Amino acid sequence: MTTSRRRYHITTFGCQMNKADSERMAGILEDMGFEWSEDPNYADVIVYNTCTIRDNAEQKVYSYLGRQAKRKHEQPNLILIVAGCVAQQEGEALLRRVPELDLVMGPQHANRLKDLLQQVFDGNQVVATEPIHIMEDITKPRRDSKVTAWVNVIYGCNERCTYCVVPNVRGVEQSRTPEAIRAEMVELGRLGYKEVTLLGQNIDAYGRDLPGVTPEGRHKHTLTDLLYYVHDVPGIERIRFATSHPRYFTERLIRACAELPKVCEHFHIPFQSGDNEVLKRMGRGYTHEKYRRIIDKIREYVPDAAISADAIVGFPGETEAQFENTLKLVEDVGFDQLNTAAYSPRPGTPAAVWEGQISEEVKSDRLQRLNRLVAMKAAERSQRYMGRIEEVLVEDQNPKDKTQVMGRTRTNRLTFFTGDINELKGQLVKVKITEVRAFSLTGEPVEVREAVSV
């Protein structure tokens, strides 16, 4: 290693958990004296924090890696790291495929980056993929935003959805203690953060692995209890959480969201399919009727709530009629946003080897039809904002128009309005909505509220 300024670069693929892990790894590297380099070609340490949820996500990293592996031949001191879910899935096999790699580390090892790098500096090629108890990190994350932050509440997933690699790559559920979560939020509030998103692959499972039961026989620690416990953290004005699982979603949770003013009126509850037979084969543990009842309950308690979800088309054996049940659910519920994907067979998952795999043509046709409907319904949902005054938390400048700033409504709609980012960043602004599109809004500021701080 050179003694001059050493630089690092991280490219992050995948979901919010990966983004949160990258922020912690960046914190560790900065603590070790590395400086951020936007361009990987000027970095001495490169981390690819990878995703393997679908095949196209996995393939991306190989093309990135190929380029840097070549560079390593001219610059032998370059340290190449693959972290995240592809690292966990492939382990040693990655070293055979890309021998230039120095370190392959699964998501559970993110907090150990410093130790692992030390082993690399000592001359080892390291693979860290064994399951471990996730240590609470002592290093401060280097967060991308100064306004909104992610806070992990539960790692891993104990579900067995038959299409999904997450349990294989993220391991079993591990909840953080309410005290650790609250302490992280208190620190965020002190630093001026305004919004926190509590994260878990199946956040409704929060607390199942922590000790204690109530006199009524419930787990002592649940997501609902956690929301009450962290709600009054000074400075934090908005609380969000994701991802919810319909199987465990409770009326008690909806009531808490209605009651607690900081909890935003947005629910992200993936349904995956609108057909009961498909849901059963996915191993999801609910019917479309149950899903609809959850939505009805949400609308009863929080009438204006935004609802978003994930859905998969072309699951093995999905017939045209079954796909139409997904369309029907989307038509009936009217989602504010829906992440859609064509089913992708994943190594080590049951559905990957089932008969009745759907052709790429049919999958892409179904995906297009679903996406058209989603955009139409989202545009309909956006109509209700027209002329309304919405509270927007300003996060950034609009990259496409520097005279504008952008932020989100409490219901998570991206909103643009004219203003100076230097004055408005981190402010809660009342904005009158004057233009609506399917997935974003434009408005005029009517009042800036200095957020009540500590």
User: Which residues are near ligand F3S by CB under 6 A?
Assistant: 14-15, 17-18, 51-53, 84-85, 165-166, 169-170
By CB under 6 A, residue 17 contacts ligand SAH: no
Which partner from the list ligand SAH, ligand F3S, ligand SF4, none does 329 bind, CB cut-off 5 to 8 Å by kind?
none
Which partner from the list ligand SF4, ligand SAH, ligand F3S, none does 68 bind, CB cut-off 5 to 8 Å by kind?
none
Spatial separation of the C-alpha atoms in residues 263 and 195, rounded to whole Å: 10
Residue 363, exposed/middle/buried by CB under 10 A (0-12, 13-18, 19+)? buried
Q: How far is the CB of 246 from ligand SAH (least distance, A)?
A: 9
Spatial separation of the C-alpha atoms in residues 154 and 272, rounded to whole Å: 22
Q: How far is the CB of 414 from ligand SAH (least distance, A)?
A: 20
Write out the binding residues for ligand SAH, residues 235-274 only, by CB under 6 A.
243, 245, 270, 272
Q: Among residues 200 and 443, whose Cβ is nearest to ligand SAH?
A: 200
Q: How far is the CB of 51 from ligand F3S (least distance, A)?
A: 3
Q: How far is CA 230 from the centre of its chain?
A: 20
Q: Among residues 18 and 202, whose Cβ is nearest to ligand F3S?
A: 18
By CB under 6 A, residue 442 contacts ligand SAH: no
**Structure tokens belonging to residue 125:** 């090629």
By CB under 6 A, residue 291 contacts ligand SAH: no
Query: In 285-386, which ranges are E strands?
Result: 306-313, 337-342
Alpha-carbon dihedral 24, 26, 28, 34, rounded to 10 degrees? -170
- Pairing outcome for strands 266-268 and 126-128: unpaired
Which partner from the list ligand F3S, ligand SAH, ligand SF4, none does 310 bind, CB cut-off 5 to 8 Å by kind?
ligand SAH
Spatial separation of the C-alpha atoms in residues 229 and 423, rounded to whole Å: 32
Are the beta carbons of 85 and 50 closer than 8 angstroms? Answer: yes
Q: How far is the CB of 244 from ligand SAH (least distance, A)?
A: 8
Q: How far is the CB of 202 from ligand SAH (least distance, A)?
A: 5
How many of the other CB atoms lie within 10 Å of CB of 110? Answer: 27
Neighbouring residues of 303: CB distance < 8 A, sequence distance ≥ 6: none
Write out the binding residues for ligand SAH, residues 302-361 only, by CB under 6 A.
310, 312, 341, 343-344, 346
What is the sign, positive or negative, of the torsion defined by CA atoms of 349, 354, 356, 361? positive
Q: How far is the CB of 169 from ligand F3S (least distance, A)?
A: 6
Which partner from the list ligand F3S, ligand SF4, ligand SAH, none does 167 bind, CB cut-off 5 to 8 Å by kind?
ligand SF4
Spatial separation of the C-alpha atoms in residues 354 and 392, rounded to whole Å: 47
Which partner from the list ligand F3S, ligand SAH, ligand SF4, none does 312 bind, CB cut-off 5 to 8 Å by kind?
ligand SAH
Chain positions contacting ligand SAH, by CB under 6 A: 53-54, 163-164, 166, 201-202, 243, 245, 270, 272, 310, 312, 341, 343-344, 346
